[in-house]
Amino acid sequence: MRQEEIWDAVAAQRYDTPGTGMFAEEVLGPTVDRLVELADGGPALELAVGTGRVAVPLLQRGVPVTGIELSQPMVDQLRTKVDADALPVVLGDMATATAPGRFSLVYLVFNTISNLLTQAEQVACVRNAARHLLPGGRFVVELWVPQLRVLPPGQPGTVFTAEPGYIGLDLLDPVTQRLVSHHFRFGRGREAELFRSPHRYIWPAELDLMAQLAGLELESRHADWRGTELTAESTSHVSVYRLPAG
């Protein structure tokens, strides 16, 4: 399935969950606080801006934000919150599209670099981020740490969440580093709703190499937006890369 088919009008209309999930204050608050800090008074570019989950509150905190986004329906949702003068969006692929200007911060959150399904596209995306940076500017990536230790021998998949009304299952191919996340939502009846999204997982060290190819240097890496230390048990990371100032 192509990304444009996944992020269609139905997905876009269901995306926002104000106050809960990825829109909960305890998730968004620390994300936006840290991005304000990292923007360091300059403008920001969000790759795959979506419906503006992060971009809109960041703008409200006084950071000028521009977006790049592939899906028109996701941008349509964003436009119900903010107009194009306040938050311009370039419709296109984050691996290749160009937004006007240079930015002190480019960010790509919520695992979305993994929506590019080949290493070549992911490398191109990191290079594209670097091209948009001012000297000394930062590129921030929020990404999960592949949990291959939990993949039993001979089993193609793992359940990452099981709770009343929801089961999340990943089916993985360690050869291509591709996986398909299956999100099953159900009530008391027989019917379940399934949302599937394909990804290519990236090792933290592989991401560092992609950044190096783009001329970026790792500045910091933490387990979350609050600055928690990254350990062998961490399931996610927030990595900050910097374009040398010189």
Q: Which residues of this chain interact with ligand SAM, rule CB under 6 A?
A: 3, 7, 48-50, 53-54, 68-71, 74, 93-95, 109-110, 112, 115-116
CB of 203 to ligand SAM, least distance (A): 20
Gyration radius of the chain's alpha carbons? 18
CB of 55 to ligand SAM, least distance (A): 8
Nearer Cβ to ligand SAM, position 111 or 151? 111
Nearer Cβ to ligand SAM, position 50 or 137? 50
Query: Closest residue (Cβ) to ligand SAM?
Result: 50
Nearer Cβ to ligand SAM, position 74 or 179? 74
> Is the Cβ–Cβ distance between 182 and 196 less than 8 Å?
yes
CB of 53 to ligand SAM, least distance (A): 3
Nearer Cβ to ligand SAM, position 70 or 202? 70
Measured on CA atoms in the order 136, 100, 127, 226, is the torsion positive or negative?
positive
Sheet holding 157-163, edge to edge: 157-163, 166-173, 178-186, 192-200
Q: Which amino acid is at 28?
A: L
CB of 190 to ligand SAM, least distance (A): 29
Question: Cα separation of 186 and 193, whole Å?
Answer: 6
**Residue 146: which residues within 8 A CB-CB, separation 6 or more?**
177, 201, 202, 203
